[in-house]
Structure 1
Amino acid sequence: MTSPQSATAPAGDDTGVDTDKAQWQTADLDLSAYLDRIGYDGPRTATLDTLRAVHRAHMSTLSFTNLDLFLGRGNDLEMRNLADRIVGARRGGYCFEQNLLLAAALEGLGFSVDRQLARVRRGSTKVRARTHAVLLVESDGRRWLADVGFGDEGLIEPIPFEDGAELTVGEWTWRVDLDGDEWVLRSRHPDRWFDVYSLRLEHHFRADFDEANHFTATYPLSTFVGRLIAQRGDDRIRQTLLNRELTTQYPDGRRETRELSDAEVVTALRDVFHLGVTGEDEAPLRAALDAARPRRS
């Protein structure tokens, strides 16, 4: 079993301030408000049980979505703004938002967290830019890959960050493999292992995440620009909303897809994806759906 050493973070400056932690604005998160938002009322101790429970509670409550981007409202990564959107306004978010929020919460609980950038594969070995955020968390004498920001193929609980490690939750199974100098997360499909994403370990800075987020949020051909996406998964099913199309995926590979009316899109965002869509959002949402990029563009 191979386990490369993690990159060494700068210890701080001569003022005694831990500059590496300060850049992530962990102290700006109201931990109690976050835990209330995800419905977690368990121990606030840095144990593996806590890590698993918080990760699962986050995944079951905060859906993956680009709703605010789709409505033209941006998604900067300032921690207070992240908390206002996701915790206060119940909006959800995608990987940079979701995993930076989780990282701050875990650090508030006493965990050591390493923020990394990954390359999305989605079944392909084509080299893509590093536009996915993931977390490595120290617990129980091991490192764990935690990720609440991938959507349909995303982890429900953390998986050991070790070559050959597997995790089964409900009907879904994931695996971590070391492929040369890249770590690969794979998801078990009925006919094969499906490459989800890969990463090389190095030390990252807040500026790296801001740059990757800016590209993801503004590049015209980005998956997240010009169309509505919302995703969530539980132990049994995975659900994806793309513009007006709602798809339910089952572990045996079956998919059920149906077209929604504008009113049904609003209902799905609220009831299926647990997002805070207000009455004031409905007219801009309809207009954005009319102008949305089609599925295969």
Structure 2
Amino acid sequence: MTEDLGYGWQSDLLDLPAYLKRVGYDADPRPDAATLRALHRAHVTSIPFENLEAILGRPVELGVEALQAKLVDRRRGGYCFEHTELFAAVLEKIGFEFTALAARVTMGATKLRPTTHALLRVQIPGEPALLCDVGFGSGPLEPLEFPAEGVNEVEQDGWGFRLFEGPRAWELHQRGADGWVQRHTFTLNETFHIDYELFNYFISTSPHSPFTTRAFTQKFSVDSLRVLDGTTLTTTRPDGHQEKRELPSEQLGAVLAEEFGIVLDPADIERLTAS
């Protein structure tokens, strides 16, 4: 048995047919642009974003076996490091060439932020490189092309995104109700599973992490972004229109199951409503 030196993404442990069934992809996957676009769209619209394990005080595990058990077999969601590691294993299994990256989430802030987000840069021979961002919870639906110069501004089913190289780093912007907002910045320095393990530990355990202070769940689709922040449910449409409502605590379990596809044990629901 060859020693795992940590440069790959454990695709030998991945049950690819189970993953494809989970995201509703029923074609023969090939390492080409059409497959990548379809898989990206299928992933972001099928597997929700959530930090519930951290809020419940349980460890958030990376590695293909743990991610497959949670996101595929148990049909739960996760945050960026979970999504991106699973997607990396899928791409590696199919035969794509890619580089894992780390980003600084800004959401319009100008102060320097730590690297707490995971991305993939995919290179298909003979084509421009593509940015895959399956773990942010709010798109994009499909990969974004790295522009050779200038700005790549795209609209995907009404959702707007911009990707360009800024003075310090690459920038991804997303269009909201009030215009364009810088979502995150990143460089093209390669990162690996061991780096994500370190970032993940901070995100899931530090009292300074936003993911240890309140429950947060997102589900992205072609026509809506649903966000459950604590007990506030917000639905955003591609044109920026929002609808908000406060949930009584007794409705939390039902909303998680019906709106996000996340089914929790009654004891976990009780702990979430008490947190």
TM-score scaled by length of structure 1: 0.86
User: Partner residue of 2:176?
Assistant: 189
Residue 236 of structure 2 corresponds to 249
Deviations 1:91-118 (A, max 9, x none): 1100000011011101111111211000
2:266 is matched by which residue type in structure 1? E
Confirm or deny that 1:77 pairs with 2:77. Answer: no
Task: Look up the equivalent residue of 2:48 and give its one-letter code.
Answer: S
Which structure 2 residues correspond to residues 1-297 of structure 1 after superposition, within 5 A?
19=5, 21-22=7-8, 24-139=9-124, 141-152=127-138, 154-162=139-147, 163=149, 164-275=151-262, 277-278=263-264, 281-291=265-275
Query: 1:18 Cα deviation (Å)?
Result: 7.7
| In structure 1, distance between residues paired with 2:4 and 2:271 | 46
Mapped contact 1:228–1:289 kept (Cα < 8 A): no
60-69 or 202-211, which deviates more: 202-211
Q: Secondary structure at the match of 1:74?
A: coil
Which segments of 5 or more consecutive residues in structure 1 lack a partner in the other structure?
A: 1-14, 292-297
C-alpha separation in 2, matches of 1:103 and 1:89: 19
SS of the residue aligned with 1:56? helix
**What secondary structure does 1:142 align onto?**
coil
Contact 1:175-1:186 at 8 Å conserved across structures: yes
Return 89-98 or 259-268, whichever deviates more: 259-268
Post-superposition Cα deviations, 1:11-45, rounded to whole Å, max 9, x if no partner, equal xxxx98784544x2221111111111111111221
Identity %: 38
2:93 partner amino acid? G
For residues 237 and 192 of structure 2, the distance between their equivalents in structure 1, rounded to whole angstroms, comes to 38
Q: TM-score, normalised by structure 2?
A: 0.93
Runs of 4+ with deviation above 4 angstroms: 15-18
Contact kept in structure 2, 1:67 and 1:91, CA below 8 Å: no
Q: Matched residue of 2:266: which SS?
A: helix
| CA offset digits 1:145-187 (Å, max 9, x no partner) | 00111113x2111110224112211111101011113000011
Work out whether residues 240 and 246 of structure 1, in 8 Å CA contact, stay in contact via their aligned partners in 2.
yes
- Residues 68 and 91, structure 1, Cα contact 8 Å, conserved in 2: no
Deviation of 1:261 (Å): 2.4
Give the residue type in structure 2 aligned to 1:169.
Q
Whichever residue aligns with residue 158 of structure 1, its letter is P
Residue segments in structure 2 that go unaligned for 5+ positions in a row: none
The CA deviation at 1:121 is 0.8
CA contact (8 A) 2:98 2:121 kept: yes
Could you report, residue by residue, the CA deviation over 1:180-228 in whole angstroms, capped at 9, with x for unpaired residues? Answer: 1300001122432110100011122322111111011111121110311
